[in-house]
Amino acid sequence: MAPVEAPTSGTVAQPVLSAPSEPAAAPATNGTVITRARSRWVPVAWSELAGLEQDNLAQAWSAWLKSCERSATMAPPLAALCPQVRALSIASSQEQLDWLTTRLQPYRVESLQGESRGLLTAYFEPLVDASRTPSATYSIPLYAPPAGLVSRKPWYTRQDMDTLPEAQAALKGRAVAYVADPVDALILQIQGSGRIRVAQSDGSSRTSRLAFAGTNEQPYKSVGKWLLDQGLVKDASWPGIKAWLAQNPQRQQELLWSNPRMVFFREEPLSDLDADFGPRGAQGVALTAGRSIAIDPGSMPYGAPVWLASNGAQTQLQKLVIAQDTGSAITGAVRADYFAGWGAQAGDLAGRLKQPLQMWVLWPK
């Protein structure tokens, strides 16, 4: 999964999954303030982490084990913890908590200017019904990369693909599947990956994953911002966008063409085990619903355990999560994108979540 879109006010946060740079090794802590490129970490007492004893740490441990599968991508002090993390995977929650409080030191994440409050958004993996062949119901194609697509070289825009014969000729035979709703297709493209559920001839259905395979290298333009800038909506979440389109179907193409970027996919089989996890994040590991976050690598390294606290109208969160992804809009010290999972419920949360955030990195003593 490698979306490259940057969200704006009211839209879903867009993770970017291009290959990250190597994480910088943090200096020894010794209870002192740690300064990184875009953040500073201030040591605090464990008592500052409200709700720690009530969290289901086993769920977080599952995500942590995923990071340890790619320990080479982690800062050395974190990678050194992995043998103990694996050994504790079958321990009780109390044993895991005791190990955390003995082995690690919590650091409050702040901006370089000392601000400890930031912003939490969310993203998700869409699940969309699809067909292998076009029909009156399923008419919107999702494409594999066309021949001749070159990285970092602009290709045809979204509007060009719908109108120019030469663009349509290049896309002939490249449809992976067809969906019914063009907004669902757009959400898949903005999220950068998703799941499609295709009916089989025997009446069963088969679900597979569409993984990011490239873009047309055109600039991303937020359809939510397009609506807001024209004063057409006040709610630019995906539910709000769909509601506006239901009232203004004649402007659907205009809305879609306002974003020239197109994302291309490759289809991957989805085993029962894979289905329990999300797509791969920037660290290269499968994301865990409710326990993986996207962060600014200049604020904290991949694989870092993080205590997250966020209270707002959409949800109240106090939980251990793991930094496993990044995104073009995820910049700054106290900034995270919460992986909500897949399907409609996760999509609703991802489309609306935008609330205050505090974070604490748990770092080896």
319 lies in the same domain as 354:
yes
Give the CATH number, domain containing residue 327: 2.40.40.10
Residues 6+ apart with CB under 8 A from 229: none
**Confidence at residue 134, expressed as pLDDT on a 0 to 100 scale:** 95
On the question of pLDDT at 8 being above 60, the answer is: no
145 lies in the same domain as 260:
yes
| Cα dihedral sign, 20-100-319-106 | negative
On the question of pLDDT at 286 being above 90, the answer is: yes
On the question of pLDDT at 296 being above 60, the answer is: yes
149 lies in the same domain as 263:
yes
292 lies in the same domain as 324:
yes
Give the number of domains in the chain.
Answer: 2
- What is this structure's pTM? 0.81
Query: Per-residue pLDDT tens for 81-99?
Result: 999 999 999 999 999 999 9
Query: Per-residue pLDDT tens for 39-52?
Result: 999 999 999 999 99
196 lies in the same domain as 301:
no
254 lies in the same domain as 335:
no
133 lies in the same domain as 83:
no
On the question of pLDDT at 297 being above 80, the answer is: yes
> Domain range spanning residue 99?
34-122+276-364
Is 227 part of any domain? no
Average pLDDT estimate for 271-291: 92
Query: Per-residue pLDDT tens for 183-192?
Result: 999 999 988 8
On the question of pLDDT at 105 being above 90, the answer is: yes
Is 229 part of any domain? no
